[in-house]
Each structure stands twice: as C-alpha cells, then as structure tokens.
A = this chain, B = another copy of it.
Amino acid sequence: MRLTQYFTSTLREAPADAEIISHILMVRAGMIKKLAAGIYSYLPMGLRTIKKIENIVRECMNDAGAVELLMPSVQPAEIWQESGRWQQYGKELLRIKDRHDRDFCYGPTHEEVITDIVRSVVKSYKQLPVNMYQIQTKFRDEVRPRFGLMRGREFIMKDAYSFDADDEGANVSYEKMRAAYCRIFERCGLSYKMVEADSGSIGGSYSHEFMVLAQTGEDAVISCDRCDYAANLEKAVALKPAKAPCIPSGDSDTCPKCGGIYEIARGIEVGHIFKLGTKYSEAMNARYLDKNGKQQTIVMGCYGIGVGRIAAACVEQNFDESGICWPVPIAPFEVAVVPLNSNEPDVVEMAENIYSDLIKAGIDAVIDDRNDRAGSKLADADLIGYPIRINVGKNNIKNSLVELVIRSSGEAELYTREDAINRAVELVSQAK
C-alpha cells in the first residue's frame, strides 16, 4: 500500500476524554475515531489490525472444528422472554421498538438465537455435538463507556456456542475451546493468563477468563507462583480459603496449600468461556432423542472473545513514549519503507525497489511516499507502530546501504538492499 493512496490521520494531541494509553495511541495513530460515547469507527489503519485478529480467531476456531455462521444483530423480545433474560437483563440491554411497536433488542450475546436455530434442526443424538461461532457486532449500553475500544458500547465479538448430548461431551467441547483460545492469544502475540471466574449474567456452572496482563487492567488476578491456582479476585474472594487455598488470607502472602507465594497482578479480560449446562436448553426446550429413543436436554457451552479488546489490550502491553509497538501478526502493516528525502531521485528509486521486492516476497508492506519531511514520516511510523521499518536516506545510499529498524527494541542496522529484504522476510516469518 502507498500512503498517498491511503487514508491516514495521525494526531499530535491526545483526545480530551482518553484516560488509558491504548485509547490515546489508537486515536492518535488514526486507527479509530469516536462517533458517540462508546461508539467508534475503525479507520482503515485500525481495520487492518481488526481483520488480522479476526482471521487468527477464524483459523483457530475452524481448526477446533467450530463452524461459522452469522446471526442477526436485531433480536425479537420473544426469545429473550423465553429464556427469562428480557426481564433479568438491566439497562445494558439496548431495547428497540420497530415501526409496528414490536419489542426488539440489539443483541449483546446470542444464546437465545443459536438455541432457537439448534432446537429447530437437531432432533437426534446423531446430529450432536455441534459448535457454531460468529464474528459479529454487538451492543451493550454501558452506563459509563470509556477507555476507547476497551469498554465501548458497540463492539466486535467472536462468540461460539457448543451443543452436546451430555455433560461429558460438553466438557470435551469446553476443553477444545480452552485450547483454541490459548492458541489464539499466543498467535496474536499476547502475554496472558487463564483464570477461574464467575459466570455473571450469562449463567452456567463454571467459567474461565483469559486475562492480558497489563498495569492498566481493570481486573485483579490472583496466582500462586508454585501451584497452578489462578483466579480473578472477584471469584477468589467468593470462595472459602479451604477450597481455594492460594488466596491471600490475613497478612500472610504465602499459599496455605503449597507454601508458594501468591501474586496479585492487573489484567484485561479478552476472552471468557462458560460451561452453560442446560440453563438455556431447558428454558427454550432444546432437546433430542438419545440412542434409546428417550428425550434428553442438550448441554451447552458458550465462548466469547472481544476482537477490538484484543487490539486495545495488545497496545497496553506494547508501547513506548513514541507510540505503539505492534507484534507482527496483528500489525496494520508488517514492514514500512520510508524514503527520508522525497526530493532525491536515488532515494525514491531505492525505496520503490525495496517496496516492490517486499510485496513480491509476500510481505504486507507499506511505503510512505508522501512528500513530507523525514522527521514527520518517522514520527508517524513510530506512532502507528509498524514492527519493522526500512529507512532509505541519501547518506547511506551513497554506500548502497539502507537502515532496518526493529520498532520494539529500537535495534537499527545497515544492510544492502538484498540483505534488508532477506532480514525483513526472516523477521516476519519468525514472528508468525
């Protein structure tokens, strides 16, 4: 991509309402733009990152045997009344009346819709298990939306729903999703922790959250450094010490179970998986005939990932004073080529050649072909956070050299054109 043919809009100033670094940097880098409280447009640069996250999620879900579908965002009240959530759900549920004064809502989750689909199709144990997912826009009418994509009202989510013949099958489905989630966060380049959690308004028998560790995280995460126990604080304090022996008790910070030291860290929830059991299938009459022709209730699980949240959480983990440091797999572009002297034909020619070589090598590259000062181009590149940058300047090309800079470490080395290409290709493939 050429920046002259793209739509970029970097800002020097942080937005007045931005409190956390991911919000500040994603707005300043021109990745997102606020339309109303908690409602953002994904500008072209931001959408590239979102699409890359979506593709990683999609590949990992498909590999785990889940099948993609797409359900409506506008849902009729009737199915929510059937599950009982029309009454239970508070003001976070955005309720809508259509032109005929019928009740609808903008779906914050899709348990009711998917259960309605499955109950109409699945009649026999032979049709189970089923696991279906979608990547879709949802709405939750937060009382105080803030933090950019972190706590928005309209947001993109991947939600999956599993349907099994029995509890044992449901556990297998849950385990597959747990493994898929670990793979997703690893592939996105995130440092994360899986912790025990409460089920909240979704309901069900147990659940785990996936937390990206970052100082700005809204949640506290407890973990023992010796035994396996990890939970969010809410869940941990709700349990008795006997059942969750690694929880801090009194003044002591040693784990009463194993003697290890417990730690409290801050985390950002990016995924949540729930063993739902029969809460929805019972209420909505989703049943099947077993091998003996006897009617049984389907056992469900549900599994959510905040796509926009992954992007924001990643920024919280990867930034410096100049801007974002995207990991390669979800960077808007992998390599940026920056001709530092736009008026020098040699510089422009070398930069164009390198850009063209990178594209041929299958690299997702961008060239900053704008007629701007070097300082302004480099500041933009650092702010947007391309993981690898190749600077082409008039002094170095006298010696047929260009500079390759790694954004996260600041490491810079001089290479010939050919070696710069090879090094960039090597770095990108190592990181994916």
Instruction: Identify the A interface with B (CB < 8 A).
Output: 5-7, 9, 30, 33, 35-36, 39-44, 47, 50, 65, 67-76, 91-92, 94, 96, 98-99, 104, 106, 113, 116-117, 120-121, 130, 132, 137, 139, 141, 143, 153-154
Contact = CB atoms under 8 A, between A and B. Distances in A.
A96 B143 CA distance: 16
A204 to B, nearest CB: 22
Closest 10 CB pairs of A and B: A9-B121, A36-B76, A91-B99, A42-B70, A41-B71, A39-B72, A44-B67, A99-B141, A44-B69, A72-B154
A72 B41 contact: yes
Contacts of A92: 99
A212 B6 CA distance: 32
A10 B218 CA distance: 46
Given A7-B130, A130-B7, A143-B99, A44 B72 contact: no
Question: Number of copies of this chain in the oligomer?
Answer: 2
Contacts of A7: 67, 69, 121, 130, 132
Contacts of A130: 7
Contacts of A30: 121
Given A35-B75, A72-B154, 13 more contacts: A6-B67, A36-B74, A36-B104, A39-B75, A39-B76, A41-B69, A42-B69, A44-B67, A44-B68, A50-B70, A74-B94, A99-B143, A106-B106
Nearest to A6: B67
A94 B153 CA distance: 18
